[in-house]
Amino acid sequence: MNAVKEVIALYNPRSPITESYRMLRTNIQYSSLDKPIKTIVITSTGPSEGKTITCANLAVVMAQAGSKVLVIDADLRRPAIHKVFGVSNKVGLTNLLVENKKFEEIVQKDGVEGLDLITSGPIPPNPAELLGSKKFENFLNTISQSYDYIIIDTPPCGSLTDAAIIGRIVDGVILVAAAGEVQIEAIQQAKENLQKVNANIIGVVLNKVKRQTSSYYYYYYYYYYYTDESGETVKKKKVGRRRKKDDRYTLPSDGRR
């Protein structure tokens, strides 16, 4: 396991940040009543808002909860999943789409039980075209039979169409927004781009929230619960400041209920 330290869910399961990712996992589970969310696209308005790290951490906490998870790096322009998990990117998604390689040939096992990876593979000249192909859609449909969740990392949707193209054929899209970085108008535009293709936007992950600038927004989750090794939810003595607004968020749990 050579994952970078940002995959905090692996290295620090008790960290409040890991707890936030567990909350994300729980909220995804409960975001749709009719149709379970299995295939998820993760995108953001601009570059480096934390898409790939969110993908990785979400996948890890899902796998830790006993789900079978596949992470696909569909960012064929600036792939990063292989860097985050510290695996090779010699073969990947493009090999499957262009060279007709079999899924078994390109899937990579990760150190985490239940977590599989498909990296991007060689960077193609026409990523949008590849991702919009019937072949990719069929591949997703077939592969989703064997996994509980498929998490797809994509390029930013503010300026590129890739995320919207995939967003069309998956169950849900999650927008990652870096606090204090993404401009209101830009993210509104990103939302419109996704809605134009009828993508189902499940919701937004507010990333990189600094304690200094908006402390009380996550204080509560920060100290209220943490999950111990046995997966039991333990109440901590230290209770953070609680505001009325916090009530609407689902409390983090271990996700197995």
Return residues touching other proteins (CB under 8 A): 6, 8, 12, 15-17, 20-21, 23-24, 27-28, 31, 50, 53-54, 174-175, 177, 179-185, 187-188, 191, 201-218, 221-222, 245, 249
Minimum CB separation of residue 113 from other proteins in Å reads 23
Distance CA 106, CA 146 (A): 15
Provide the 3-class DSSP secondary structure of residue 68.
coil
Using the minimum distance from each CB to other proteins, give the nearer residue, 33 or 184.
Answer: 184
CA distances, 232 to each of 51, 58, 81, 250 (Å): 29, 19, 30, 17
Using the minimum distance from each CB to other proteins, give the nearer residue, 44 or 108.
Answer: 44
Minimum CB separation of residue 15 from other proteins in Å reads 6
Torsion angle (degrees, nearest 10) of CA 16, 20, 22, 25: -170
Minimum CB separation of residue 172 from other proteins in Å reads 10
41 Cβ neighbours under 8 A, 6+ residues apart: 74, 152, 154, 163, 166, 167, 170, 172, 173, 174, 199
Minimum CB separation of residue 79 from other proteins in Å reads 21
Minimum CB separation of residue 174 from other proteins in Å reads 7
CB hemisphere CA count around 156 (13 angstroms) = 16
Using the minimum distance from each CB to other proteins, give the nearer residue, 81 or 202.
Answer: 202
Distance CA 27, CA 148 (A): 16
Query: Among 162, 115, 156, which Cα is nearest to 7's?
Result: 115
